[in-house]
Amino acid sequence: MCGIWALFGSDECLSVQCLSAMKIAHRGPDAFRFENVNGFTNCCFGFHRLAVVDQLYGMQPIRVKKFPYLWLCYNGEIYNFKQLQKQFGFEYQTLVDGEVILHLYNRGGIEQTASMLDGVFAFILLDTANRKVFLARDTYGVRPLFKVLTDDGFLGVCSEAKGLINLKHSTSLCSKVEPFLPGHYEVLDLKPSGKVASVELVKFHSYKDEPLHAACDTVETLPSGSFDLETVKSNIRILFENAVRKRLMAHRRIGCLLSGGLDSSLVAAVLLKLMKEINVNYPLQTFAIGMENSPDLLAARKVAAHIGSEHHEVIFNSEEGIQAIEEVIFSLETYDITTVRASIGMYLVSKYIRKKTDSVVIFSGEGSDELTQGYIYFHKAPSPEEAAEESERLLKELYLFDVLRADRTTAAHGLELRVPFLDHRFTSYYLSLPAELRIPKNGIEKYLLRQSFEDSNLLPKEILWRPKEAFSDGIASVKKSWFSILQDYIDQQVDDLLLEKAAEKYPFNPPKTKESYYYRQTFEKHYPGRSNWLPHYWMPRWVKATDPSARTLKHYKSATQE
């Protein structure tokens, strides 16, 4: 996890512009480099490094003797860089996994490069010989990327929007900073003036398709075309274990977030099993956060005892959570209600990890709810086909919600997040299964995933079959949920009259509640006029919900009242 920043065709002095690059210093606390591009005095790269692999040669932009005309700034991890080296006979100059991007590009161009990368990434690749700039981002947008391109060809690129909004330029940049779309690459011509012109934006991978890099994966070819239940369950276990195994690539200590829910518990259990197999010489640290006696703390304690991790509990009170709201919204760059709620706990636990431990590479369970239909409202889906479509929509928008939350809250404290549920191969296989296999069954969401691990003894049965809790709800007590605590506080902060006139003040995504108004007001304080970064609020479907919390849904109420 690093922070990348680049400018092409700047009219202003670069020494002034580079102050914007410092806005993302939290993403790379180990080192910083600012480098001009030879022959283009108004083009430059900025890089904040979190050293996870190759402590000696890992600084960026990466340049190698073989390709002196290529400059690479990337944030991410390429898990198959050794397999690609073996397959194509690449001669690496460093131990940096991202170096493979240069070799792939030289061998087959940008499309093959993006398609062959098994991992998470956002990169800027400059080819001065052919006067091209390339931008690319991984399938689910696990690694963030923002850009601004003016009509006169000035390009700014950054890991977070906050590194672009204060750039100086002769024309206004106000409305043009936008997220770069996941699963896409863009080709831009670099003019002699250092300015650029966009040539094409191409979608290189659809998550339903088996990725091109599957051909050189370490997992043997799976039985295809057979949807026999035992075969399916076996394939799910094989691919999930493989997803965790490939993410063990690190020279820094590995830890794992553990809420005690199914997803993070499965990740932690498989992770610990694999770390033992390769004789990692330190215990796995797991981290849970919650208020005193919250469901998540109690469940996580059970899981940690079962798997044998070195478990840490972070207990916070409502005052600490409320005090963190503004810095959380600043980090997130969004005002989405459920994202802000869920981010507070994750932000506070990340702060603890950074200050009190030496774990840096942090595993987490993001992506499972979207992929395996884990949200409680999936029980209300009119048909398996509509549930499958909703699952795909959620995956497509992950970069606006859960993936955004997970990246920003951990990156704010210089941690690197790894999310095995969003492994390309695992997700494409799961989405290839018949729709009726993937829906909730017997009143239980994620039924197929739970069933797949039922005989593995990885988790206690009560955890494997524990009903879904939203992270923002599970960290509080059952009697009073976190969203209720927030709403009680905010009720005193926002006047009724302000809410009545909310649609006039904020015509785009107008706030409907005081909580929503408070988040929006805080967002506008830091990012005025940029509400379009959030196209719409996250809300459950097929139910007449006015709040995104699972605890407001009838299914949750009936389950907890039984």
Known binding-site residues for L-glutamine equal: 97
From residue 550, give the alpha-carbon distance in Å to each of 265, 335, 377, 469, 558: 20, 19, 8, 7, 12
Nearest Cα to Cα of residue 344 among 229, 482, 228, 518: 482
Strands (E), 316-433: 359-363, 416-418
Q: Which residues contact 473 (CB under 8 A, 6 or more apart)?
A: 481, 482, 483, 549, 550, 551
Instruction: Tell me the residue type at 373.
Output: Q
Q: How far is CA 224 from the centre of its chain?
A: 30
- Going by the annotation, the residues of the binding site are 97, 257, 289, 364-365
Rounded Cα distance between 138 and 316, Å, is 34
The token pair at 297 is: 């703390």
Rounded Cα distance between 263 and 258, Å, is 9
At 81, give phi and psi (nearest 5°). -65, -30
The token pair at 178 is: 């936008």
Judge contact between 516 and 506, C-beta under 8 A.
Answer: no
The token pair at 77 is: 């991890």
At 119, give phi and psi (nearest 5°). 165, -160
Judge contact between 81 and 95, C-beta under 8 A.
Answer: no
* Residue 18 appears among annotated catalytic residues: no
Rounded Cα distance between 291 and 91, Å, is 52
Strands (E), 407-532: 416-418
Q: Could you give the 3-state DSSP secondary structure of residue 496?
A: helix
- Going by the annotation, the residues of the binding site for ATP are 257, 289, 364-365
R_g over Cα of the chain = 23
Residues in the chain: 562
b/e per residue 337-370 (b: at least 16 CB within 10 A): bbbbbbbbbbbbbbbbbbeeeebbbbbbbbbbbb
Nearest Cα to Cα of residue 425 among 240, 200, 249: 240
Find the catalytic residue in 2, 43, 158, 256.
2
Nearest Cα to Cα of residue 373 among 441, 426, 428, 316: 441
From residue 343, give the alpha-carbon distance in Å to each of 10, 328, 401: 35, 7, 10
3-state helix, strand, coil split of the chain in percent (to 5) is 45, 20, 40
Q: What is the 3-state secondary structure (H, E, C) of 6-37?
A: EEECCCCCHHHHHHHHHHHHHHCECEEEEEEE
List, by residue number, the catalytic residues: 2
